[in-house]
Amino acid sequence: MSTTACFADPRNAQIRLYQPLVRRVARHLRAQLPPSVDVDDLIQAGMIGLNEAIGRCDPAEAEAGGLEKFAMPRIRGAMIDELRATEWASRGCRQSRRDIDEAAQRLQQRLCRRPHDSEMAAELCLTLDEYHALQAKLHRSQLMPLDDTGLVGEEDDDGLHGSEFGDSTHDPLSVLEQQRMRLALVDAIQGLPEREQQVMLRHYGEDMMFKDIGRELGVSESRVSQVHRHAIDLLRAQLQAH
């Protein structure tokens, strides 16, 4: 029996159950956006993402409580797609990405290694908190949750500086390719070990800092950084296979 058929009857119940999750994600994003962005638009987009997740999630996984983890990146991704469609700050974000890429290249040439976040902040004449805030803003503005500025964490020198997916939203073929890669990324995250999934979803899905994730999971901030780095290595390997 197909996933769609399995979910045909309980779909409305599942949607009602996870509506608070959609609203929570929407409010979290809205708090960091310009006044012109309507939270209801984000909620509407998030409901589309939730509906897609319910239709795609394996029924056994959903019954075991895995639907929330499966749905989170799709809900957030649908909201980001809505923001991207309105291009509320795309020009400024593209310039910020270029500034970060150029700074990373300069530092890597000087240091002969990937720069730490503190070094990136100094190169950009920002405080570390300002640099982290800029990274969070760029993550929210991207077409996919983890795309061209890459998976860059706090004081983590193993991020993906650069534009692996590029900025080609006006090329239909590129858009289709980005959509394919986004689904591949979501599937790859679902295939991570439990602890890596928890760290990635909290850091990128909920913009939690490593220290806050560590406090919630009962581990040190440095341990969260290690898990994050390991997750990036696993994701990179899986995405390269696509």
* Best CA proximity match to 53, nearest among 14, 13, 23: 14
Stretch 198-207: mean pLDDT:
78
Which residue ranges form the domains of the chain, and what is each CATH number?
3-86 (1.10.1740.10), 90-240 (1.10.10.10)
Single pTM value for the model: 0.37
**pLDDT band with cut points at 50, 70 and 90 for residue 106:** very high
Cβ 157 vs Cβ 165: under 8 Å: no
- pLDDT tens readout for residues 38-96: 888 889 999 998 888 888 877 766 665 677 888 888 888 888 877 776 655 556 677 78
Residue 219, pLDDT above cutoff 80: yes
- pLDDT tens readout for residues 133-176: 887 777 655 433 433 333 444 444 444 333 333 344 444 444 44
* Best CA proximity match to 185, nearest among 241, 140, 239, 240: 239
Cβ 117 vs Cβ 159: under 8 Å: no
Cβ 78 vs Cβ 48: under 8 Å: yes
